[in-house]
Amino acid sequence: MVRYLIVGVWAILIAIGGVYGGLMWSSNNALNAKEDEFLPGLDYVKTDTITVPIVRDNKVQGYVLAQLVYTVDAHQKQALPVPLDVFLLDEAFRTIYGSTVIDFEKLEKYDLTEFTAGILKNVNSRFKSQLVHEVLIEQLNFITMDMVRNKLVQRH
C-alpha cells in the first residue's frame, strides 16, 4: 500500500514538473519573439579601420584611425549591387579629412552625434533612401607624427 502511495506522489511530481517546464519554455519563446520585434531585419555591420591623414599648414600632423558600426536593413543590403561599406567609409573619410572643426592636436570634446549624423545623412542621400538606420563609433583614435616616428625607430 505504501508503494502505491509513493508511486502516486512520484507521478504527481513528474506531471507538475512537466507542466512547469513547458510553461517556462513557452514563456522564453514569447520573450524572444518580443525582442525580435524591436529591430526586425536589421544587421549590425562593422567596417574596416580607416586611416585618415590630418593635414595642417601643408604638413601631415598625424593620423586618425576610425572604425564604425552601422545598422542596415538585411533585405536592402542584399539587393545592393555594391558594398555599402565603401560609401560609409568614404563619407567618414571626407568628414574627418575635410573637418576644420576638429583640431586633433588641441583635442577638446567634439559632438560625436553630429559627426555620425552627418555620415548617416550623406550616405542615405547618395542612395536617395533610408538605407542606413544608425552609425555608431567602434573606435576613434589620433596618432601624432611623433608617435609614428617613434614606432618606426623602435622597429629598426
Task: Give exposure, 28-62, as e/b (b: 16+ Cβ within 10 Å).
Answer: eeeeeeeeeeeeeeebebebeebebebeeeeeebb
Compute the mean pLDDT over every residue in the chain, rounded to the nearest whole number: 82
**pLDDT over 90 (residue 108):** no
State the cell numbers at 2: 505504501
65-82 pLDDT tens trace? 999 999 998 888 888 888
Q: Which of 140, 151, 136, 68 is nearest to 104 (CA)?
A: 140
- How far apart are alpha carbons 131 and 114 in whole angstroms? 19
What sign results for the dihedral spanned by CA atoms 102, 107, 112, 116?
Answer: positive
42-155 CATH pick, 3.40.50, 2.170.130, 1.10.10, 3.30.479: 3.30.479
Whether 91 shows a pLDDT value over 80: the answer reads: yes
**Lowest-confidence segment of 31-35, 76-80, 97-101, 128-132 by average pLDDT:** 31-35
Beta partners for 122? none
Grid cell, residue 140, equals 576613434
* Rounded mean pLDDT, 17-36: 67
CA distance 156 to 154: 6
Binned at pLDDT 50, 70 and 90, residue 98 comes out as confident
pLDDT value of residue 117? 92
Residue 106 contacts residue 38 (beta carbons within 8 Å) = no
Q: How confident is the model at residue 133 (pLDDT cuts 50, 70, 90)?
A: very high
